[in-house]
A = this chain, B = another copy of it.
Amino acid sequence: MISDPSIIDQITARFRFLQGADADFIRHFFNSSTITHLASDQPICQQGMHCSHLALVIEGTARVYKIGENGREITLYRIGPGESCILTASCIMSRKPFPAFAISEEPIKALILSSADVVRWSNQEATWRDYLFQLISDRLGDVISVVEEVAFRRVDRRLVSYLLQHIENNGMHMQVTHQSIASDLGTSREVVSRILKDFEQQGMISTSRGTITLEDRHRLSEKLTE
Contact = CB atoms under 8 A, between A and B. Distances in A.
Interface stretch (A20-28, A52-60, A87-95, A193-201): A87-95
B93 A134 contact: yes
22 contacts: A66-B152, A68-B151, A68-B153, A72-B151, A72-B152, A90-B137, A90-B140, A91-B137, A94-B133, A94-B134, A94-B138, A96-B137, A96-B141, A122-B133, A136-B136, A140-B140, A140-B143, A143-B143, A143-B144, A146-B147, A147-B147, A150-B151
Query: How many A residues touch the partner, as a band?
Result: 35 or more
Interface string A57-73: 00000000010111010
Interface of A: 66, 68-70, 72, 74, 76, 87, 90-91, 93-94, 96, 99-100, 122-123, 126, 129-130, 132-134, 136-141, 143-148, 150-153, 186
Contact of A144 (B76, B123, B129): B76
Contacts of A93: 130, 133-134, 137
A94 B144 CA distance: 15
Nearest to A138: B94
Given A123-B129, A129-B122, A133-B93, A74 B141 contact: no
B126 A123 contact: yes
Query: What is the oligomeric copy number?
Result: 2
A24 to B, nearest CB: 17
B129 A140 contact: no
A1 B87 CA distance: 37
A31 to B, nearest CB: 23
Contacts of A144: 66, 76, 99-100, 143
A139 B140 contact: yes
Given A76-B144, A126-B123, A144-B66, A94 B137 contact: yes
A145 B100 CA distance: 10
Nearest to A71: B152
B147 A143 contact: yes
Nearest to A135: B94
